[in-house]
Structure 1
Amino acid sequence: MRKILVVGAGQSGLQLALGLQSRGYEVTLMSNRTADEIRTGRVMSTQCMFHTALQHERDLRLNFWESQAPKIRGLGVSVAAPGSFGPGPSQRAIDWLGRFDGFAQSVDQRVKMAGWMETFAQRGGQLVIHGAAVGDLDYFSRVYDLVLVAAGKGELVRMFGRDASRSPSSEPQRALAVAYVHGLGPRPEHPDTEAVRCNLVPGVGEMFVMPTVTTSGRADILFWEGVPGGPLDAFKDVRDPAEHLSLTLDLMKKFLPGSTRGPPRSN
């Protein structure tokens, strides 16, 4: 039986480890955090899995949250009209909603990664909590038949240089800020359709609104992508959740009036 090491316990590393495990390989999974540390830690990202990706999870019997997560039936795009910022009805140069043939879903990565790590161990996999370093490679090469690096950061990842032909930008093109909230009302134009909404403000940035399931149940993700140095690049020194939410609401009122209903509260 081939012995395989997977370094990194994110979406790709965990699914790879569990898939190889289901095919009878002896798999070791290496993570720099325990399942409990992931589950109780800070929000790691936004995420949305579409029909094909969800089917891969079903095939591996990993779709544990399918009955709990909102079924996202559509994708909406809105583009603010020039000069439409401020109070009053939204002025949108473009506003449409497309509906999917198969639904998408979003599960907070803290919920999914922690659950999958525990499942991997329960199914007989060896879980090692260790931050892999370059100095470990000699040991890895002697013990394992194959080493797969599926991590997103860390010393090992820095061995793989940026491919300029695939990534022309050497500096971040957006300043990111995310909040998971409860109590967000439906979009007035499609109150009966769960959808990911992409709200674009030319020259300023974007806001994505995404239904999800998180550690505290059903929620919505408010995700800002701000042009660096612009008005949405305002969260760098914000550490308090209430302050983050207050700033988010102020920016929504200015740049996305009428895009949502209801007074959300931070998670």
Structure 2
Amino acid sequence: MAKVSVIGAGQAGMIFAYALMDKGYDVTVYSDRTAEQWLNHCPPTGTAFLYGEVIDIERELGMDYWSDEMFGGDGVLLDFKPELRGEAHLEVAGRFKRTGGAIDQRLRVHRWLQDMEAKGGKLVIEAVTPERLDEIASASDLTVLAAGKADLGRLIPRDEERSVYAAPQRYLTMGIVEGVKGWGDRVDFTPVKFNFFGDSGEYFWVPYTHKTAGPTWCFLFEAKPGSPLDKFRDCQNADEVVAVAKQVIADVAPWEVDVVKDMRPVADDPFCWLKGAFPPTVRKAYGRLPSGALVMPLGDTAVTFDPIGGQGGNCASRNAKYTADAVIARGEGPFDEDWMEEVNAGFWDYHGRAAYTFNNILLEPLTEAGQTVLMEAARNRRFADEAFFGNFSSPNNFFPWMEDLEEARKMVARYQNLETA
């Protein structure tokens, strides 16, 4: 069996590793942290809300120990204001196809690393440098880089044609909190709660299963630079982040003041917050290292998403499974440039293009097609359930009608005809 090296022990790297270990491959995972350090000494790498269809990937690989008891999200409740200080205010609600959830990444990786050797893999605790990566790749049949948004990913060239943005589009601030009242008085399900302000940015709430506290909420502010949401840059700890969040909510979303009046950082977790910015980026099929060895991007390293559309973690899992399946299908063939280009193009057509395009649509001012879709979703719950929020897990289904006004009108007319049938 081929010797495969995985640089990075996050969600994508571990799914890829487990899929190959299950087939008897010689897999070594390089992690810059021990399992205990992952669990207790670092922040989560993001919210990582996964749709039910994507959780199935972990379940099928024997990696899912949590979804049966997770604090799940069944759909979306959206408050949309084209202008933050304007009068227009649209409410939209709808369900996903299946319940999803955000399970603390630290809890998941901790368990997966602990199980590595029992599953037949090898685990090396090492902060891999570019020089060391070259050594590893030279001694392996295939090396994948699943380092998330880390600087090591820059060893793989940016795909200028596919990458839309060269700079971050939002300044991000995340916090995991207790004491949030929730939105049971507004919808008949547990929502992922979105607040969109066309001229200022967004913030949203995700039902979250914390490593020790269990059912909690994770908020994420996505601030356009200089907007009234852009208030977190000087925060130095979780208490400051929560205090600023309450102030911002009182200013921009007074309808949620009562929801957060008792909000507090999750207890006994000083790492329950995160802030920063990065550009959504697509990378090439491989990078060539100084020795001539190749390294292939995986997950967030291959396609980096802004969190706005809930596509990042879901695309990462799909990419990991797709790539593992391609490795298995390759058999004894070489993992060369042509193969990497073929896998890269195949995944882009299968899922990557649609997920990246849909996500980026949400970063931009709403087009006429988008306005048509959103207005119908606000008016027609069946349309919201089936056509809009129901397709967040299947972004290919958004096209062409999410981009094309005439196609959007046809889709709306189809659902209006169903009402009168």
| Global fold match (TM > 0.5) | yes
Instruction: Name the structure 2 match of 1:147.
Output: 143
Counterpart secondary structure, 2:89:
strand
Kept in 2, the 8 Å contact 1:31–1:129? The answer is yes
2:66 is the alignment partner of 1:65: yes
Question: How far 1:92 moved relative to its partner?
Answer: 5.8
CA distance in 1, matches of 2:65, 2:184: 31
Question: How far 1:149 moved relative to its partner?
Answer: 1.4
CA distance in 2, matches of 1:146, 1:58: 25
Question: How far 1:77 moved relative to its partner?
Answer: 2.0
Counterpart secondary structure, 2:103:
coil
Instruction: Name the structure 1 match of 2:161.
Output: 165
2:111 is the alignment partner of 1:115: yes
Question: How far 1:244 moved relative to its partner?
Answer: 1.3
Question: Which of the residues 259, 262, 268 maps onto 1:261?
Answer: 259
CA distance in 2, matches of 1:254, 1:116: 42
CA distance in 1, matches of 2:69, 2:104: 12
State how many pairs are aligned: 262
Instruction: Name the structure 1 match of 2:56.
Output: 55
- Tell me which protein shows more strand as a share of its residues: 1
Kept in 1, the 8 Å contact 2:175–2:219? The answer is yes
CA distance in 2, matches of 1:188, 1:154: 38
CA distance in 2, matches of 1:39, 1:16: 21
| Per-residue deviation, residues 136-165 of structure 1 (Å, max 9, x unmatched) | 244324432211112124454211122222
2:238 is the alignment partner of 1:241: yes
CA distance in 2, matches of 1:42, 1:194: 25
CA distance in 1, matches of 2:134, 2:219: 44
Q: How does 1:221-240 map to 2 (within 5 A)?
A: 221-240=218-237
Instruction: Name the structure 1 match of 2:29.
Output: 29
CA distance in 1, matches of 2:171, 2:84: 23
Instruction: Name the structure 2 match of 1:186.
Output: 182
Letter of the structure 2 residue corresponding to residue 258 of structure 1: W
Question: Which of the residues 197, 204, 207 maps onto 1:211?
Answer: 207
Instruction: Name the structure 2 match of 1:76.
Output: 77
In the superposition, the TM-score normalised over structure 1's length comes to 0.91
| Per-residue deviation, residues 158-202 of structure 1 (Å, max 9, x unmatched) | 111222222222111101101100111121543551111111012
CA distance in 1, matches of 2:73, 2:60: 20
In the superposition, the TM-score normalised over structure 2's length comes to 0.59
Question: How far 1:55 moved relative to its partner?
Answer: 0.9
Distance 1:162 1:264, change over 3 A: same
Q: Which deviates further from its counterpart, 21-30 or 133-142?
A: 133-142
CA distance in 2, matches of 1:82, 1:156: 39
CA distance in 2, matches of 1:138, 1:202: 45
Kept in 2, the 8 Å contact 1:200–1:207? The answer is yes
Question: How far 1:121 moved relative to its partner?
Answer: 3.0
Kept in 2, the 8 Å contact 1:205–1:227? The answer is yes
Instruction: Name the structure 2 match of 1:88.
Output: none
Q: Runs of 5+ in structure 2 lacking a partner?
A: 267-421
Kept in 2, the 8 Å contact 1:188–1:261? The answer is no
| Aligned-residue RMSD, C-alpha | 2.0
CA distance in 1, matches of 2:6, 2:190: 35
Kept in 2, the 8 Å contact 1:78–1:95? The answer is yes
Q: Which deviates further from its counterpart, 167-176 or 217-226?
A: 167-176
Q: How does 1:37-52 map to 2 (within 5 A)?
A: 37-40=37-40, 41-52=42-53
Question: How far 1:102 moved relative to its partner?
Answer: 1.3
Question: How far 1:48 moved relative to its partner?
Answer: 0.7
Q: Which deviates further from its counterpart, 34-43 or 22-31?
A: 34-43
Q: Which deviates further from its counterpart, 251-260 or 193-202?
A: 251-260
2:6 is the alignment partner of 1:9: no
Counterpart secondary structure, 2:163:
coil
CA distance in 1, matches of 2:27, 2:174: 34
Kept in 2, the 8 Å contact 1:132–1:155? The answer is no
CA distance in 2, matches of 1:82, 1:19: 47
Kept in 2, the 8 Å contact 1:200–1:206? The answer is yes
Kept in 1, the 8 Å contact 2:84–2:198? The answer is no
Distance 1:225 1:138, change over 3 A: closer
| Per-residue deviation, residues 105-138 of structure 1 (Å, max 9, x unmatched) | 1111111122222122332311011122222244
**Larger relative contact order (CA 8 Å, sep ≥ 6):** 1
Counterpart secondary structure, 1:221:
strand
| Per-residue deviation, residues 229-267 of structure 1 (Å, max 9, x unmatched) | 222222111113222111101111111112362511111
Distance 1:155 1:98, change over 3 A: closer
Letter of the structure 2 residue corresponding to residue 250 of structure 1: Q
CA distance in 1, matches of 2:142, 2:106: 28
Q: Percent identity?
A: 29
